[in-house]
Structure 1
Amino acid sequence: MQKEQQNIQQFSSEDVEILSKETLYQGFFKMVKYAFKHKLFKGGWSGVVEREIFERGHAIAVLPYDPVLDEFVMIEQVRIGALPTSTSPWLLEVVAGIIDEGETAEDVCCREAQEEAGLDIQKLYKALSYLSSPGGTTERLHIFVGLVDASDAKGVHGLEYENEDILVHRVPTSVAFDWINQGKIDNAATLIALQWFAMNKQLVLEKWSHD
């Protein structure tokens, strides 16, 4: 077993050789064609691999939680990418946003919580980060849990100039976890944030109590 573990992730970024990068599209997002070679598990190098990669920067997702009420604040908005496979493209989500140049992940958590849900984040706990779909995009998401007062969370929010139309929901934790099992929550960032919280709730509360 120890020998097998030594073979896990034996390569690093230095074991990939980028031969070329060609910008195919440049708009709000960017599409780049990579040509590269990489080392092989059996030794030597691969042939030339070509991949079109979607580059949209990196993002945060923050799960607002009120420990007094034991409630999450979740949002609902339309997502056109869900239309082909969902009965409704209005998804139940956590607060999320793209990290702009010069911003920290924590800055974006606070900004997006105010813009999308009218919430003031009192404390943040960094849960984890993950690659959203590394076969096709460079995007990395940073997941946080945010301490909030959910008692006044309500209404419709979002930036008018971005045509955002975001409805706020107060959701008891038990209901949110039931929604996962019922398939009502089926987007990655929200699933990951809720499942991580279910596994680590006590850790978060202990940290906040000592801050």
Structure 2
Amino acid sequence: MNYLMLNKDDITEVCGVISKAEVKKELVLTEHQFWSFVYLGKIFREKYILVEEEFKKERQEVVIKEVKDDRARTYSVDTFGRFYIKWKKSGKKREIFPYIKKKTNTDKKYLALKIDGKEYVAKNLIAAVFIRSYKKNDIVICNDGDFRNIRLDNLNIVQKKEYCKGRTTSKNAKVGLFENNELVQSYPSTRKAGSALFLSRQTICDYCNNKVKKPIYDLRWIC
């Protein structure tokens, strides 16, 4: 897989192409470390942002807030799940990086960020901008089960009631088998997953609900 090297100060400028293997070798990264490096938007060679080449043509950016004060500026977000701030006076633009937060009384994590001093859930903001406004009983989910992957093509809005039902009780809830945070196999139900992996349906549910302390497989609910 190849990655475009975008100018961190002007992400519309493509400065070159580099392969995944070359980046891993240069930075001495494992597969997981490379994945985190790219999707957390870390800067490569102090001046580039790496973006998967196949998604470049699909990139869209939308202004989500304009501030008209002494430091006039605009905030925007793109379909890669990246946020930016641009100052009107200087014309300078930089990326705003979301940070990890944990939901109260749970082990669940999500990405959040501040826009003009107000904190937002990153995936919810992206979904509201590019998919549709959602109601109180809706929930935004990451299709691959990874809370850090907030690209538009990985987000979906579903009813919270149906989502929770599918995660805990439905025999037809879809299950994904992951390796190095990549989906390698999907199963149409917990029963099918159990049959393929020689585990009981309840064990599959426990895996997906993070109730197994030392799991053999990385199993997650998927849509």
TM-score where L is the length of structure 1? 0.25
Higher relative contact order (CA 8 A, sep 6+): 1
